[in-house]
Amino acid sequence: MSTEHEDLERIHNHAYAAVDDGQLNDATCAFDILLQHHPDNPFYHYMRGLALKYQMDWAGSLRDNLRAIELSDEFDQAQHWNAAIAATGLGQWATVRELWAACDIPLPEGDGPIDGDFGVAVVRLNPWSTGETVFMRRIDPVRARILNVPLPESGHRFGDIVLHDGAATGSRFDGEREVHVFNELERLLPSEFQTFVVFVRAPSREDIDALLRASAPGIGYAEDWTQSIRHYCLRCSYGAPHNHAQVQDENPQWQTERNLGIAAQSHLSVEKLLKDWVAGHPDRHLDTIETRECAPLVREDGHAWWLSPEAEDEAEDAQGDEEE
């Protein structure tokens, strides 16, 4: 009996450590064993449901979180939020609405998908990989529509509906105030807009502003990436010819070569937009229009990507101190 108790204690410690280390498959298997011996333990149900949430196993996560709610003596916010996230991933709107109501979250009336205004926030796309951050408008507590034009390599588009986690992992300034950053969990609904990477030469800020303000049929949104994306030369990565030692115009602070992301329904829509823009000034030039379609990056075990970057750094520092 003592040996069995020691074995279960070892499995218990391994299960929790595996979650902390981002080894979700190992964690799920360990909690499976623990629940075979303790089927009415709400904490084990919650933790397996948590691991399954980060594996995007919505049916399993919903099952475990609902069971944890049923077995718990007191109301637990985390159980309800994780159950609501899983139910949202499954599109079980009656269950979703019941869970949010239990959390005292006001919702628009209806019995289908929630379509409200829960404010602007930031979502970290593919947080297990590149972690590109873009602004989003939340249409319910854990679903949002992307407001920026993400890089094509992210596998996302302007206007995508994404499912995001419930816990904030940082903050960003939106021009007026600090807003929360949430980790994406899954792209639920792809947008109709493709992403076109556009390289132009604009003699002044007024010229590029004119392009960003312009509208045309089939155009969703245009964004100047020149300053916001700095980690590599975007033109070189797309094979667009240019000279790194470019000649500056009369304003030494202005970079005439501009890299844009344009969300549009077709290549023709982008061509029309840029043709009209180039015609507006003799020094405006279009260098190239590129498009790439990429799938969202596949999640892999290996690190606790759902934590904030600061928390991950602290955990790594603590591990380093222990090894020393």
Comparison of pLDDT for 249 and 50, the residue scoring more: 50
Residue 282 has pLDDT above 60, yes or no: yes
Residue 283 has pLDDT above 90, yes or no: yes
Percent of the chain exceeding pLDDT 90 equals: 78
Per-residue model confidence (pLDDT) at position 131: 87
Residue 200 has pLDDT above 70, yes or no: yes
Residue 268 has pLDDT above 90, yes or no: yes
Dig out the tokens for 79 from the structure.
């159980």
Per-residue model confidence (pLDDT) at position 252: 59
Beta partners for residue 73, in sequence order: none
* Start and end residues for every CATH 3.30.70 domain found in the chain: 194-291
Strand order in the sheet with 194-201: 219-224, 257-264, 194-201, 285-291
Under CATH, which number does the domain 194-291 receive? 3.30.70
Instruction: Indicate the range of 63-72, 117-126, 213-222, 314-323 predicted with least confidence.
Output: 314-323
Per-residue model confidence (pLDDT) at position 73: 95
Residues near 299 by Cβ (< 8 Å), separated by ≥ 6? 55, 56, 128, 129, 305
Burial environment of residue 31 by CB neighbours within 10 A (0 to 12, 13 to 18, 19 or more): buried
Is residue 65 within 8 Å of residue 82, measured between CB atoms? Answer: yes
**Mean pLDDT, rounded, of the chain:** 89
Is residue 200 within 8 Å of residue 271, measured between CB atoms? Answer: no
Residue 55 has pLDDT above 60, yes or no: yes
Q: Give the CATH superfamily of 2-102.
A: Tetratricopeptide repeat domain (1.25.40.10)
Query: Would the pTM count as exceeding 0.75?
Result: yes
Per-residue model confidence (pLDDT) at position 311: 53
Dig out the tokens for 40 from the structure.
């009415």
Per-residue model confidence (pLDDT) at position 2: 67
- Report how far residue 168's alpha carbon sits from residue 180's, in angstroms, rounded to the nearest whole number: 6
pLDDT in tens, 22-33: 999 999 999 999
* Start and end residues for every CATH 1.25.40.10 domain found in the chain: 2-102
Choose among 67, 71, 140, 132: nearest CA to 103.
Answer: 140
pLDDT in tens, 83-126: 999 999 999 999 999 999 999 999 999 999 999 999 999 999 99
